[in-house]
Structure 1
Amino acid sequence: MSPRLSVVVPAYNNAAVVAETIRSVLAQTFDDYELVVADHASQDGTWEVLQQFADDPRVRLLQTPAGGGAKANWDAVSQAATGELVKLVCGDDLLYPRMLEVQVAAFDRHPRAEVVASKRDIVDAAGKPLVRGRGLGRMRGEVDGAAALRATVRSGGNLLGEPMCVMLRRSTLEAVGWWDDRQPYYIDLGTYAHALVRGTLVAVPETLAGFRVSATQWSVRLTHEQSSQAAAFHARVRAEHPEVLSASDVARGDLMAKVAAWQRRAAYAWLGRRMQTAEARPA
């Protein structure tokens, strides 16, 4: 009998932290799930680290060949899922213990829901919170999917958060062609968009995950590329769903994406100083 939920982890060069990620899934209060982990030809010993979980009946370990970028591994591990619902968790992020229980219950209460999302903390390399309770904007409870997509575009960012914040129906993910990486930095939101126009979002205003960042993860160049890809994503949604977005929605979203890029630069500078200070402290 298939589990209700599949948690899927596309691991890539996560040897230092992937065991903590896996343990955060295995410590959930909800138990009707499988955990599928696919290592994408890592070069840092990730596959060897994963072997400590090989005997756990909840866990399946897979390997995917090199090449194809994130989409290749995200698609492969998602297609291996057998559950009705799917949650993708990157190999360095953390689920808090009630995440699965709360989000599955939200699907049970809202049969029209295509997407459930919750807030997350931003955590450092050691898992300590840097910023608490981020995400969702003003959205709470069941929200029309088109309205949620419009609000997200107008924000210039991703109100739903990274994949570990979100739960989807596997059938929907398959119907929309799996993960959409036409704008690679928007592989998550680009895919949520397809699901949102099919039904509703349930916004759970509870902090249920930790998104891990490091001082070397981003650069000024990346913030520029992200804002450029945001504009391309907005234009694509407008072209594919003109009933959802107006030209003024796109213009506002493009402007806010540029503002967000400047805010990220400041945040990364602060993060870099914080991490350097932490590393300089005596053990």
Structure 2
Amino acid sequence: MTRQATVRQAIPSERHTWRGGGARRPKVSLCIPAYQAGEFLRDTLDSVLAQDFPDLEILVVDNHSTDETPAILDSITDDRVRVVRNESTLSAAENHNLAVELSRGEFVKVISADDTLKHNCVAAQAAVLQSNPDVTVVASRTDFIDDSGALLFKARGLRGLLGHKTGEQVIRQIVRSAKNPVGAPVSVMFRRSDFDRCGGFSGPHVFTLDMDLWARLLGLGHFYGMPETLAAYRIRGGSLTALTSARSQLVQQDTFTRKLIDDPRWEIRYMDKLLGKLNRYDVLFKRVMLFKLSSVRASRRSRNPVR
């Protein structure tokens, strides 16, 4: 069965539509793939509903959740929000693609159901795409927060990637750094037309799902890295990254890096490859420690709840 057929069968109904019949095409679509997201979904929705950019839609695809996610979505009355519920649970790549495929905006931002946006994020990133037709990916710096929303680290990401960069410059930085210097989807905005042209999210490797899309989008145009911090990425124990073993993360990163190196478009140099090999274990160690720190904080809060 093709992914398209699976996607069509997965849409039982739309619980919210645009006021006036839903015919108007917004400038920006904020797409939220949600699965068992009840613990943090309200924070995410509050942050997207607080955007100071008026011409947007918010599309939430509930991936057959059995927790309080459906109840939270039923409580939303804002007519900018549309909700679609899957009849069965799709893979992460399928659900992310479905969220974008159902969107109607010219510009698209995918937001995990536990991350949040600063109030001016959409306006600032849409302005970059509007004024730079050669840019296919715009990204901002991101705060790292823990389960409770407390700050872990400020203004992360985009090291060496601020300002206007070619796709080749970004790809080489990915190889050198042995990580995702662009950032998670919450930090990125792109054009819907470019997403369709490059084929969307492509599995099966969940850990490199975002980077793989950024690389293919950068095959169509340039990159712009914003110095502002416009989003927050939640480091939590139950996330897909945390549930992926360190060994699997390393294998997936190596496989993805090899694909970039083997692509003649990027002209990866020997020094880029050498730096990537030197950095790969250090990056993995720091990532594992970051998630452990968030888990330790959560455990301490559960033992010593605020009275």
Alignment TM-score > 0.5, same fold: yes
Q: Does the 8 Å CA contact 1:117/1:202 hold for their aligned counterparts? A: yes
Determine which of 200, 212, 235 is the counterpart of 2:258.
235
Which amino acid in 2 is paired with 1:260? V
Q: Which string of whole-angstrom CA distances, capped at 9 and with x for unpartnered residues, describes residues 56-82 of structure 1?
A: 211110012324410111011100011
Please state whether the residue corresponding to 1:82 is helix, strand or coil. coil
Please state whether the residue corresponding to 2:88 is helix, strand or coil. coil
Inter-partner Cα distance in structure 1 for 2:40 and 2:291: 21
Please state whether the residue corresponding to 2:59 is helix, strand or coil. strand
Q: Does the 8 Å CA contact 2:28/2:107 hold for their aligned counterparts? A: yes
Which residue number in structure 2 is paired with residue 112 of structure 1?
A: 134
Q: Does the 8 Å CA contact 2:171/2:260 hold for their aligned counterparts? A: no
**What are the equivalent positions in structure 2 for 1:52-91 lying under 5 Å apart?**
52-53=75-76, 55-91=77-113
Relative to the length of structure 2, the TM-score reads: 0.86
Q: Does the 8 Å CA contact 2:139/2:225 hold for their aligned counterparts? A: yes
Query: How well do the aligned residues superpose, as a CA RMSD in angstroms?
Result: 1.8
Relative to the length of structure 1, the TM-score reads: 0.93
% identical equivalent positions: 29
* Residue 207 of structure 2 is aligned to residue 198 of structure 1: no
Please state whether the residue corresponding to 1:275 is helix, strand or coil. helix
Q: Which string of whole-angstrom CA distances, capped at 9 and with x for unpartnered residues, describes residues 89-142 of structure 1?
A: 011110110100110111122221000000111111121211111000022111
**Cα drift, residue 192 of structure 1:** 0.5
Please state whether the residue corresponding to 1:168 is helix, strand or coil. strand
Q: Does the 8 Å CA contact 1:85/1:169 hold for their aligned counterparts? A: yes
Inter-partner Cα distance in structure 2 for 1:200 and 1:221: 31
Q: Does the 8 Å CA contact 1:6/1:34 hold for their aligned counterparts? A: yes
Inter-partner Cα distance in structure 1 for 2:205 and 2:192: 22
Q: Does the 8 Å CA contact 2:237/2:243 hold for their aligned counterparts? A: no
Give the total of aligned pairs. 282
In structure 2, runs of 5+ residues without a counterpart are: 1-23
* Residue 226 of structure 2 is aligned to residue 173 of structure 1: no
Determine which of 273, 277, 282 is the counterpart of 2:296.
273
Inter-partner Cα distance in structure 2 for 1:185 and 1:211: 15
Which residue number in structure 2 is paired with residue 26 of structure 1?
A: 49
Inter-partner Cα distance in structure 1 for 2:174 and 2:97: 24
* Residue 33 of structure 2 is aligned to residue 10 of structure 1: yes
**Cα drift, residue 16 of structure 1:** 1.5
Please state whether the residue corresponding to 1:252 is helix, strand or coil. helix
Q: Does the 8 Å CA contact 1:142/1:201 hold for their aligned counterparts? A: yes
